[in-house]
Amino acid sequence: MREVARFPLADGGIASVEVEDQEYGARSVSRSYGGYIEAASTLDQAMDQIRGVASAMVRPLREIHPRPDGVEVAFGVRLNAEAGALIASNVAESHFQVTLTWTATPPTDEVSV
């Protein structure tokens, strides 16, 4: 079942997010007038969790030798009113897509003798 969770924003605003039925968390979340689920943390705090995950994944990839010119990491994020941001999964596995790019060194016009 899908429900609407309200995540407070750091600037005082509210982000309404469609979420699956809240099966995670140790404590129950509160419901406001109108049946909305009130999130336990701000959306900014939930996104801090994702920034930490992205940093932890990209840091070691940038240490590959030769260093890639570009690193992309893609993963799904699911918001939960109690747990914040979760890495989305299919069944029991989480899916990450990693792309590393190297740009070929342009040839020089010099001729070695």
pLDDT digits (tens, 9 = 90+) for 18-44: 876 655 444 455 555 567 888 888 889
Q: For residue 107, is it within any domain?
A: no
Total number of domains in the chain: 1
Q: Which domain, by its residues, includes 41?
A: 2-101
* pLDDT in the model for residue 27: 44
Report the DSSP beta bridge partners of residue 11.
none
End-to-end CA distance of the chain: 74
- Which tens digit of pLDDT belongs to each residue from 72-99? 888 888 888 888 888 776 655 567 888 8
Q: For residue 29, is it within any domain?
A: yes
Q: How far apart are the C-alpha atoms of 99 and 12, rounded to whole Å? A: 37
* pLDDT in the model for residue 106: 59
Q: For residue 49, is it within any domain?
A: yes
Q: What is the 8-class DSSP label of residue 76?
A: -
Q: Please state the pTM of the whole predicted model.
A: 0.61
Q: For residue 111, is it within any domain?
A: no
Structure-token pair, residue 76: 């799904």
High-pLDDT (> 70) share of the chain, % = 73
Q: For residue 86, is it within any domain?
A: yes
